[in-house]
Amino acid sequence: MSTYVAPIKITNGELSEEFIDKFDTFLFDCDGVLWLGTHLLPSITETLSLLESKGKQLIFVTNNSTKSRKAYTHKFADFGITVKEEQIFTSGYASAIYVRDFLKLQPGKDKVWIFGQSGIREELGLMGYETLGCDDPRLNEKFDAKTSPFLKDGLDNDVKCVVAGLDNDINYHRLAITLQYLQQDGVAFVGTNVDSTFPQKGLILPGAGSMIESAAFAANKRPAYCGKPNMNMLNTIISAFNLNKQKCCMVGDRLNTDIRFGVEGGLGGTLLVLTGIETEERAVTKTDEYPNPKYYINKLGDLYEFTH
C-alpha cells in the first residue's frame, strides 16, 4: 500500500503557475470538467487558450461514446473552441480499436451488434465494419418475440461482437436482442466505459455502466471495458503522441475513472475538478476504494482566473 500524500488544493496564482509549469501535456475529461451537457463551465475557453499559449499539448479523453470524434469537434466548435479530431479520444473510438487490434475482427466479414448510440457506429464504420442495432428505428417498436424483425428471421450469424455503451433510447427491445447475441457462442462482449452515472447541470443521470452491467447481469458474461481507467486506452494515446508520461497530467471530475486512469497509468500528475461528480471531502479522504489526486481545484477555469 503506498503512503498517503495529501492532495494539494490550487487556490491562488502562484500555485496555478507552479502546477502548469510542471507538465507539457494535459489530458482532459470533458463532461463535468469543460462543460455540463450543453453548458460551458466558466473561463474554460480562456484556460485552454492560456495553456496553448504556453506551448502545452491538449488531449481530450472522454468516456462518452454517444458522439464520434468528428462530432466532438463540432461540439467544441459550438463553444468557440477549435480542436482537431486527432486530439480527441472517446470510449467509442477506444472500443473500435479494441475490436480491430485485439479481437482482430475482419471488416467486410465479421459484424458488430451495437447496444448504444451513433458515436460507436461511426467509429466502427470508419474502420470498415458493418454494424447492426444501435439507432435502427425498428428497435423503438414495442418488443414482441413473435414479431421482432431481429428474431423473426433468426439472428445474424456474422455478428462476432457486441459493443455496449450509453444509450439514451434504452428500452426492452434493445436489451432483449442484445441478450440474444450475448448468449451466442464465440460472440465477444465489449463495454465502452464503466461510469455508473454522469453529471448534467443540476442532475446526476444514469451512465453507460448502469446499462452495460444490466446486459452483463442478464447474460452472465463480463464485458472487456475500453474507456478510462483501462490502460489500453492510455497506451494508445501515449503511443500516438510519443508522450513522456512524467510530463503528462490527467484532469478529471471522477476519482474511480479519471484519477485512477492517471495514477495507475503512471502519469506525472492528476488534477481533480469539483464541478462534476466528486466532493472535496472525497478528494482528500484516504481510502482503498479509489486513488487520491495529486492536485484538486474548485473549477478548471480557476487556473486562468487566479493568474489574471
Active site residues: 29, 31
Give me the amino acid identity at 2.
S
Is 56 annotated to bind ligand? no
3-state secondary structure of 172: helix
Q: Which residue has the cell 442495432?
A: 133
Question: Which of 14, 44, 8, 9 is CA-nearest to residue 306?
Answer: 14
Is 195 annotated to bind ligand? no
How is residue 9 written as a grid cell?
Answer: 488544493
Q: Which residue has the cell 447481469?
A: 217
Answer yes or no: are the C-beta atoms of 278 and 272 closer than 8 Å: yes
Is 70 annotated to bind ligand? no
**Sequence-ordered strand ranges (E) for the chain:** 8-9, 25-28, 35-36, 39-40, 57-62, 88-90, 111-115, 130-133, 159-164, 188-191, 197-200, 203-206, 224-225, 248-252, 269-273, 295-297
Q: Which residues fall within 8 angstroms of residue 165, CB to CB, at 6 or more apart?
A: 65, 66, 91, 92, 95, 114, 115, 116, 117, 119, 120, 191, 192, 193, 208, 211, 212
Is 29 annotated to bind ligand? yes
Cis peptide before 229 (omega within 30 of 0): yes
Q: Is 76 exposed, middle or buried (0-12, 13-18, 19+ CB in 10 A)?
A: buried
Which residues are documented as binding site for substrate?
A: 228
